[in-house]
Every structure is written in structure tokens, then in C-alpha cells.
Structure 1
Amino acid sequence: MSRLGLAAAVLIACAPALASPPALTEAQQLASVSTPFAVSREHITDDLYHYQFDLRVGSTPNARVRIHRVVRELSPWRPRPTSQAVMLLHGDFANFITNFVPSLGHPASSAPGLAPYLASRGIDAWGVDRRWTLPTTDGDISDLGEMGIHQAIGDTAVALAFARATRTLTDRDPGRIVLGGFSHGAQLTYAYAAADGRHISAIAALDIYYDIAPEDADLKALACANAAAERDALAQGVTDSSNSLFITAGQLARSAPEETSPLFSGYTNRGVALTLSGLTWWLAPYTPVYHLSAPIFDAEGNVTGLRESSEEDVTAWFASAPPHQSMLETAEFDEIWCGTTPRPELAKIRVPLFYLGAAGGFGDHGLYSTTKVSSTDITTHVVRRFGPERVAEDFGHGDLLYAKDAPTLAWGPLAAWLRRH
């Protein structure tokens, strides 16, 4: 184990001293990771490196908190000190690597990645994978049914405490850091800030809503219906919300794009990937014309290409998805939107908030949630190319991470806000 890993293992045992006394669950988790853990280091580009820490936090098969750090180095295992730091939470069918450092994914992507972008500009970029990302296709998923939002909030607290303890060593900075998230990772960001928030100085929500606006009653009804169906699946013993559709679609679009798809009748493999990307609202109408990637349409309304992100990068995102996902987490996220069960309330959030939306994703529908927090420091920025009449073609949800112009249109405003917070 490296000197950094050994030192961080010692520091993590002292992490509660950095803040007010933690809740019992967090205290137990922090105590359990004071022993040595797995750490790795890999090169990204130039002086940028990726560190990965696996912390054992229990006895079940996947009771680990996988923490990531992307940072510039002064020398091997010696990060360049920074004064700003952010922890990023991934979205669905993804992990930290596939969402934020896609060049290290399997398959690798040509997209430069938000985390390296931030790190190259002096912002220490951290992340944490939720436990459902850890099992392989044939791995042990016997604990998948325990992987809900309460557990994810606890794991996020452990990761934040670990990051602060490590930064105390490497950067001489024990201060709180910004918590940011993409998609459902942003919903978890809201939930953590409302339920705990002890380790964070601000939050950044990338394209999501938490509270649904009154005028979007149809979207709330959809969430309630989805939550009921997912609870029914759980009652029948289904704990895995499989990502096989995205994985297979991505793999086939890359290996045999013009062959007939076994997934959707009448489509080629490329056509399936384009449809999932550009007409996502057919399967997941989170907004009326919600899409992952801005589509190019033909006269009949079929998707013939992608306007912002390359097909190679989008299919790499799909193909590199973790095979499993927690049905319990999916149900609980929908229940937050439905508002039918107890949940952390946005009014408890008092730290600064940055909302970054995509016009063709959650976009303007995510603005309502920003009005429900108690913070007086709120910044919003929705990336859009067109007027409301062309929202079906506009900047998509995933374009915030993979579009050629994402660094200019999305990452630059986020980095500027992070430097001020």
C-alpha cells in the first residue's frame, strides 16, 4: 500500500473530529474502514491521475464504498494541492468512471470527461460509486435488496469524510467540500444535503428535479405509478433493475451497426441506439420530450444521427453500464418524486446551490426544486440551443457529459461557480 493509502487509512478513523458527532450508522461505517483498504492509481493524461479506494464497510458481499479521486500530481502518489474540491455522484446505468472519466471506461470513450476537466483547472474531483455498481454480470447480488437511498446517503457521508480526511493530509485543507451529482446522482445530492449535509459547503445538481412543480402533475402521476410497480416487483422478490437493455444496445451498435436488431423489431442495431438516445421519452418520459442525446430527425421523425454527442461516445456509455442496478433505490427515487412517503425535505438545505440543466433533458422542469430550498445563494443555468418549439432537438440529458461543446456550454459555468464556492 502507498504512503498516501496508509496515511488516509489512519486519518479516516479520525474523520468524525472534522465535524459534529455523526449519526450512529455513519460512526459505525467510519470505524470499520480504519483498517487497510485497496488503493490503485492510473494515468489519465498529462499530469492527471485517477486514484481508486475500496473501503470495506460491512460483511455482505458488496459492502464496500468505492471512492475515486482525479487530481493533478506533483510526483507519483503526491497530488498537487488545491483549495477547491467537489465530489460527484453518478446517474443510472453508470458509475463514476463511465459518467465522469469515460476515457478510462470499458469500452473507452473519446469524451474528455468532466472530472479531468475540473482537475486540470485546479478543482480536486472526487466521486463515489453506489454499491449496485460493484457486482459483475455473474457476481453475488444477494445484498442488492438492501441498496436503498438511506444506505446511499450513509455511504456518501463516509466518502465525504474520507475525502476531507485525505485532503487534510495532501492539501492541508480539512474544510467542507461541494457535493455534486448528475441525474439520479443529483437527486441523491439533494437528499443527502437535506438529510445530513455536515460535510458539504454547497451542492451542484446536474439536470434533475426533486420536487415536481404543480403544473407538472402528469409527471408526478407517472412517478407514483412507477413507484407502485417497482414496489410490487420488490414484493415478488425482484431486487435487480437490470441494465441489460442499454448494455446490449451499446455493444451491438458498436460491433454490428447495420445488422437487424434482436431488441426492437424493424430497427438496425444502430437505429436502436439512436432511438434510445434521441427518443428516450418513449420509454422514460421524465419530461414530455426527454432525451439523453440531442437527435437529428428525418421527415418521418426517425432519429438519423446525434447533434451534440458522437455516436461512439454514447454507445460506449451504454455498453460500459454496470450489469445490475437496485430496484429498491429506483422505487425510493420515484417515491421521492411522488411525495407519498417520508423523505428529506428541500427546505432543510441552506448551503449554496447550482442547478445545471439541459433543455432537452429535465431542463426547465428542474428549476422548481431550486425554489424550495432555504438557501439564499442559488444559481441556475440551462443549456439550450433553440427556442421552446424545438426542445425535442435540443441539448440532451447526457449531452451535459458527452457533447463536444459540453466544456464550453456546461462545464465552464460549473467550474466558474465551483471556484467561487
Structure 2
Amino acid sequence: MRSAFKWVVCLLLCVVGPAMAGEAPPPESGDVSSPDALLDVEGLSESLTAGRLLEASRRVVDEGIAEYSYTVQVGPGAYDVITVHRVVTELLPGIPRIGQKPVFLVHGDLWGFRGAFLPSVESSAVPREKSFALYLARQGRDVWGVDLRWVHVPATTTDFTFMQNWNLETHLQDVRAGLLLANQVRTLGSSSVTPMPLLGWSRGATIGYALLNAEAKSPANQHLVSAFVPVDMAYVFDKTDAVQSEISRAACDGYTMLSALQQSGVYVEGSGQTVQGLGVLAITAPQAPSPLLMGLTNREAALLAGSATYMLQGVPLFDWYHFTGGLFSGTTPTGLTWTNERFFFDVMRQASPFQSSGEQVETLALWCGSPTQPYNDRLNKVKVPVLYVGAAGGVGELGLATLKQLGTKDKDLFSLIVRRLADSDRARDFGHADLFLASDADQLVWSHIANWLAHH
């Protein structure tokens, strides 16, 4: 895989790079690419087996900061495609500043890289800089990330048999491919590997743990991850703890249900379409009756999805879990506490319509404690420094149990749990998505992550 990706990156640098560097600065945010150069790259890379460049683009996302996107075919199927993103300050248009320390971001469910880490670019409700990737770039980070292959599946799709074998292994290999590409762009096509920190939010943290477990089986000089920031996710549970044991039993029930659906031919999870619809209706017809949640207006329905997410989950494991802390009149949501309401609706609109169910089934198996999963058999050999970040209204401190399974020394294990209310009010506390969307997330969360990364 490494050799083929080296050639992809060389083509990016030698053909696409010069075309981008010669462009004049665009007047506003927008895609910029060189079609002729891209066609040449596509023709030259036809014989590659690990990846073939399909498209490369550049757009300005904030003053002095550009996003480079590289869409790569990583398998034989029409949707075996990932996009690797780079958000970086530029010396000149098309010329990223060199010498900036890298970090690689992996999104979770519902949203791809842009929806998870660049959502303010598509919203006028908050300042443009209120996106995690932009914040890190402003801090001098060379920010990389990936769109997992389900992000590219269009809303018009009706046959999902191509998702049958998509699972955690599929996605960790795609993240690995993205890390390799990032490495080789940064090192001008060199075959040498320089590990970089990895941050995974939600399901992205699960994929990150699975990748670290896989890397523990290979020589150290082949490792791509130097440090890990899992954000608000549990990988395994401590069954000696009463609460975690109960959650584990519920996960077993969820696994039984979802695996049966998978075996019957259901390979897709379509919550993204619902989330999109809720966001659009909340913006376009906020006071109209919701066609999705009876008895509520469109605005109230979208607020409920954000502030009482556990009520709408097919497999509710945490009876307090929510994206955004909310305000209520009785059981009716009236607003959001920490995140700008319109911004949240704009983020909902950015959800991807479909997601593969395989990684969800396997995550439930891990939570259940299945010994047949190949993703946790070497956790005690994982040695990288880890910063766990949790939200009291999300997975919170339940994610700490995984850290005890790692081989990382105690002095290299760190945690940050954002809690703003009493334990008894957990259902309204700082939520899973507040970590990236809250108005003060940059001060409350991002600054701590940036400071930790500066030392790792």
C-alpha cells in the first residue's frame, strides 16, 4: 500500500501542486482546481492498486487558511472512495507553510470531516473561525483528516449491498491510507514514515483504538500514530462497575438486534437523512407542525434531536446522552444552553444521508464483551500517550475505562471531562457535540487539546 500511495502523492506534488501554486488568490471561499492536470494524474495513475487520485481541489476557508482535498479510489467499487483533507495556513496561495506540526482528525457518525471539524464554514450564525480545524490551523497545526467512504454515498442510492463488508477494519485501513498520504505529501513523496497525533471523535475514536490495536502487531518503524486523543467514546467497559455492566448488557441486546438485521441484508443506517430533514425544516418552517415528530413544531423537533438525543436512538444505551445541552418546559425543548441554536440547525443540514452499519454492529460487540472481535487483543501493547476528552452529557467518564486496558504508562495518560452541571442534571449538561459546537468550546475544550498536542 505504501509504495502505491507514494506514487499518488508524487503525482499530486509534481502535477497538481504547480497548477495550484500558480493560481491567483480567489476573491472568496470556493473550490479551485486544475481539470487538465487532474485528468493527467488520473491517466497516469490507472495502474495503481492501492489508490488512484480522482480529484484534487483547494478552497480558501478563512483568511490565510486553505483546505486541500484529495479524493482517492481505494477499492474496486464505485463507493470505495475516501477524501483526505488538509487545513493549513499558507505562505502564498497554493503554498502551505512548512514546518507546522501535523495532526490527523477522524470524524464519527453522521458527519464527515467538514461537518464535524469545519461546520462554521457553511453557517453564517457564528464567526467563521468557530471550527476546530480552523482553530488548530491558527495555532500553527498542519491539520489533516478523512472522509470515510460512506460520506460519499449519495442520497439517491437504493441498493446498499456494496456496504455488506464495510466494518471497523475497512475504516481503519482507510484512516491508515489517509495517514500515509498525509505523511508522503509532507515529506515530498519520501517512503519514510513519521508518526503523527491522531484525534478521533465518537466512532472516530473507536476506529482510532482499532488502528492502534492493529499497529501494536507491527514493528514500531511502521507505526503511523504517535499520540491519540479519543473524544467522548468508550471502547470497552469495566463489568465490575454496576453502571458499566448494565450498559454492557444493553449493548449485547443491541448487538443481537443489529447483527440480525445485518444478516438479513440490511447494511445501511439512514439516520443522516432524518437529521438533515430536521435541520432543514427547523430553518425553513420553524413553527410548522413537524412531520417527523408528532406534537412538536419543526424547531422543537430539531431541538429535541439535539438536546434529548437518547430518546430518538434505535439502541439507547445511555439514558442521558445528547448532542447539545438544552432547555425545557416540562418535556418540550425550548432552546440550547451552550451551542448557538441556528448554528446547530446548520450543522444538522450537513449530515451525510447514509452510513454503513458494520462498524456499529462491531462496536456493540466490543461493548458487549465479545471475545471474537479482532480489535482489542493487543490493547495492552499500545504505548502511545493518550488524552481522553469527554462530555458529562455524552459518554463522559465512561470512556476512561478503556485507558486502563492500554499499555501506556500512567504518566502518559491524561483526561479532560467537561462538566458544567451537577451529576443529577446530567441529561442537560455539556453534550457530545457541544465539545465542538459550543460558543466557548475554543476556550473550554480546544485550548486544552492544543496545549496537550504541543507537548506530544
- TM norm structure 2: 0.83
CA distance in 1, matches of 2:114, 2:96: 19
| CA deviation vs aligned residue, 1:11-32 (integer Å, no higher than 9, x gap) | xxxxxxxxxxxxxxxxxxx953
AA in 2 matched with 1:199: L
Conserved in 1, the CA contact under 8 Å of 2:90 and 2:96? yes
Identity %: 32
**Paired position in structure 2 for 1:316:** 346
The alignment status of 1:386 with 2:393, answered yes or no, reads: no
**Paired position in structure 2 for 1:416:** 451
The alignment status of 1:110 with 2:141, answered yes or no, reads: no
**Paired position in structure 1 for 2:318:** 287
Q: CA deviation at 1:191?
A: 1.1
In structure 2, the gaps of 5 or more residues are: 1-7, 18-46, 217-222
**Paired position in structure 2 for 1:24:** none
Q: CA deviation at 1:141?
A: 4.1
SS in 1 for 2:299: helix
**Paired position in structure 2 for 1:127:** 145
| CA deviation vs aligned residue, 1:90-135 (integer Å, no higher than 9, x gap) | 1111100000001344x67636211110011011111111111101
AA in 1 matched with 2:236: D
Mapping for residues 366-405 of structure 1, pairs under 5 Å: 366-376=399-409, 377-405=412-440
CA distance in 2, matches of 1:4, 1:120: 28
**Paired position in structure 2 for 1:360:** 393
Q: 1:219 to 1:108 in 2, by over 3 A?
A: farther
Q: 1:169 to 1:230 in 2, by over 3 A?
A: same
The alignment status of 1:154 with 2:173, answered yes or no, reads: yes
Which 4+ residue blocks in structure 1 deviate beyond 6 angstroms?
1-4, 170-173
The alignment status of 1:77 with 2:94, answered yes or no, reads: yes
Conserved in 1, the CA contact under 8 Å of 2:184 and 2:191? no
> Which structure's relative contact order is higher, taking Cα pairs within 8 Å and 6+ residues apart?
1
SS in 1 for 2:425: helix
**Paired position in structure 2 for 1:277:** 306
CA distance in 2, matches of 1:82, 1:304: 47
Conserved in 2, the CA contact under 8 Å of 1:358 and 1:384? yes
Mapping for residues 11-410 of structure 1, pairs under 5 Å: 32-33=49-50, 36-105=53-122, 110=126, 112-139=130-157, 141-169=160-188, 175-196=194-215, 198-214=223-239, 215=241, 216-242=244-270, 243-284=272-313, 285-298=316-329, 300-340=330-370, 341-345=372-376, 346-376=379-409, 377-410=412-445
| CA deviation vs aligned residue, 1:386-411 (integer Å, no higher than 9, x gap) | 22122222111000010001000110
- TM norm structure 1: 0.89
Q: CA deviation at 1:343?
A: 3.0
Deviates more, 1:140-149 or 1:171-180: 171-180
CA distance in 2, matches of 1:195, 1:356: 22
| Greater Rg by CA | 2
Q: CA deviation at 1:35?
A: 5.0
Q: CA RMSD in A?
A: 2.5
Conserved in 2, the CA contact under 8 Å of 1:48 and 1:70? yes
Q: CA deviation at 1:172?
A: 12
Deviates more, 1:113-122 or 1:33-42: 33-42
AA in 1 matched with 2:287: E
CA distance in 1, matches of 2:251, 2:343: 29
Conserved in 1, the CA contact under 8 Å of 2:206 and 2:234? yes
Deviates more, 1:180-189 or 1:337-346: 337-346
Aligned length: 400
CA distance in 1, matches of 2:253, 2:70: 38
Q: 1:4 to 1:126 in 2, by over 3 A?
A: farther
